Structure 1
């Protein structure tokens, strides 16, 4: 065990000096906001599409079991476009609308091992695939620009010109994800092509994964042999099950051309980034989250592409993310303001204490901690450099450790030194809605992330002040006094 003030953390805080600065979460290299002058594709029925096949329908809700390959179930209604191919291949779906330049965004859900794609102008495929947790990415992974194909090339090299995502921010099967594609169509003069099609940007779950990619011609499986100024959106329907909602687009596309050596969308010419290299990283700063500034934040970057923000003032886990670690540019711009920014796909949680003393499971969770209830005691590092946060809560010594071994989930263990003399509860999740999926699995905030709890812990799903809460009693056992659960996304 190492002391909470390790040489690594001391050196980092000396480097920061007096400029201990705050944080605003933003997408990596990306601008946030809705498409300008966006139009929405109507999903009350299938009238927006040309001759839809039998596997396509609209639904009010969909569910994709994380453990079942290529399986989606639906409930009757409208608002969600869904393809369920079944045993036989389905048909691709084409919009009545045709486009040239387009700024396209949509939410999508895929089951385990599913495969689909979105073809711009029916010609240029952006891959949709279950790539959750994959480490080595190819053009065939989620968000990649699929390869072109020529069987006259040497064996083993038929595929060419594809572009792989530069990092993996894919979410688990059965969760809603978001993709935004900014595309410039090829340009023609006198019937001759004078400019190739270009992907200005692809953002997956708020993070730029490809930008400024020129396409010499249609990708493999194009619906058309030629290129043109206009064409329909085509959704692949002959492979896997997939669902879409909130399909929006604008034809107002403008982007600076670059030589590819810098990001088109960066607001800083030379961002100051903090990376995780070889061992976990702990970075103290301010962090701005919706409605407040976390002034005692510990940003922790684990190995395997997982990071989280921990509030040392109350023991709250306020955000988790995948992708890069931190952009510390605001700490050094002008006079600095103490802020750093997550460089990945962020899921916001609640910046409130994760533990409370309740007389029973029906008592409301306290909005704030009473003075003196919570005393932070820093953290210890294990041999791998992973911190265990220490605190005193109502006289009890609390240990809080978060780890990740697979790059897919975050395992949290909260324990008490010695027996707990009070009725302590741990709040594992709070959101607008929490769905009980069975076997200790819960989906939070309309399938934004999962929480997995061992059923032996007897979690309680209840209504709270702002939605629903999932709480777990922390009870004394012969193995100690602890609670363990996983956040999966």
Structure 2
């Protein structure tokens, strides 16, 4: 094809394109200019939740209060009877002779708040010093331990996903001072064969400092061996009576918000 013929063909294509565009402009309305309201929607409005204050020990209005300083009526023993850890002065203390305690209610996705204190003058070292734990859905342990100037294996430190993921930092207060856990947990979703479609995830904040940032939980937190994937539904919280020889720790002000 010579240059003259090529240019003639190209001009014909351009003319055809221009004709189509002119036809489109003639027969179809132009899109209206964007305004701020085009990207706004007003419903449904989020539910109103009153933040906690000193009267409610910080528990928001939609929280389930699991311990308000009076009794352990929201808890049961691991064997199914009443929870028998001693309640005194607005707190309750681990009783190593009575075993673990569990919430009577089961939960899936939640925001959990609990406060705990290692006694002043505690003895022992490593894992034998103020050891406890909170098990999410009775399967996945977030470690509770005296981490103040107490060296231990890093995936067993306070705030670890036990035997899986170490905390990002150590934000432990000294013995005798209260520590505050805020835990945000997303329950797993399972496939038909029992494997994870979506594994559990957890964010752990200790004393206002992030220790776990949307961490993937690999499976059950085993003391011996490695994580196992066990298909389950909603489950209770479990507080561990570890049974180590050091002085037991105490808890107060526990509440949970279902998400």
In structure 2, which of residues 129, 135, 140 is the aligned counterpart of residue 119 of structure 1? 135
Match of 1:100 in 2: 108
Q: 1-side partners of 2:229 and 2:98: how far apart?
A: 22
Q: Does 1:82 align with 2:107?
A: no
CA displacement, residues 201-253 of structure 1 (integer Å, 9 cap, x when unaligned): 1000011111121112110159x98331211000001325121111011112x
In structure 1, which of residues 35, 49, 68 is the aligned counterpart of residue 75 of structure 2? 49
Quick check: 1:196–1:215 contact (8 Å CA) kept in 2?
yes
**TM-score (normalised: structure 1):** 0.35
Match of 2:12 in 1: none
How far did 1:53 drift? Answer: 5.3
CA displacement, residues 403-441 of structure 1 (integer Å, 9 cap, x when unaligned): xxxxxxxxxxxxxxxxxxxxxxxxxxxxxxxxxxxxxxx
The structure whose residues are more often strand, as a share, is 1
Structural mapping, 1:44-193, within 5 Å: 44-50=70-76, 51-52=81-82, 54=84, 56-60=85-89, 79-85=90-96, 89-111=97-119, 112=122, 113-134=129-150, 138-147=154-163, 162-190=164-192, 192=194, 193=196
Q: Does 1:38 align with 2:41?
A: no
How far did 1:52 drift? Answer: 4.1
Q: 2-side partners of 1:172 and 1:97: how far apart?
A: 33
CA displacement, residues 334-371 of structure 1 (integer Å, 9 cap, x when unaligned): xxxxxxxxxxxxxxxxxxxxxxxxxxxxxxxxxxxxxx
In the alignment, structure 1 segments of 5+ residues that lack a partner are 1-32, 61-78, 148-161, 253-489
In structure 2, which of residues 234, 240, 243 is the aligned counterpart of residue 236 of structure 1? 240
Q: Report the structure number with the largest CA radius of gyration.
A: 2
CA distance 1:59–1:227, change in 2 (3 Å): farther
Match of 1:319 in 2: none
Q: 2-side partners of 1:52 and 1:210: how far apart?
A: 33
The structure whose residues are more often helix, as a share, is 2
CA displacement, residues 103-129 of structure 1 (integer Å, 9 cap, x when unaligned): 101111113221110000111000011
Match of 2:220 in 1: 218
Q: Does 1:195 align with 2:219?
A: no
CA distance 1:251–1:209, change in 2 (3 Å): same
Q: Which has the higher contact order (CA 8 A, sep 6+)?
A: 2
CA displacement, residues 299-340 of structure 1 (integer Å, 9 cap, x when unaligned): xxxxxxxxxxxxxxxxxxxxxxxxxxxxxxxxxxxxxxxxxx
In the alignment, structure 2 segments of 5+ residues that lack a partner are 1-57, 123-128
* RMSD of equivalent CA atoms: 2.6
How far did 1:84 drift? Answer: 3.3
Number of aligned positions between the proteins: 182
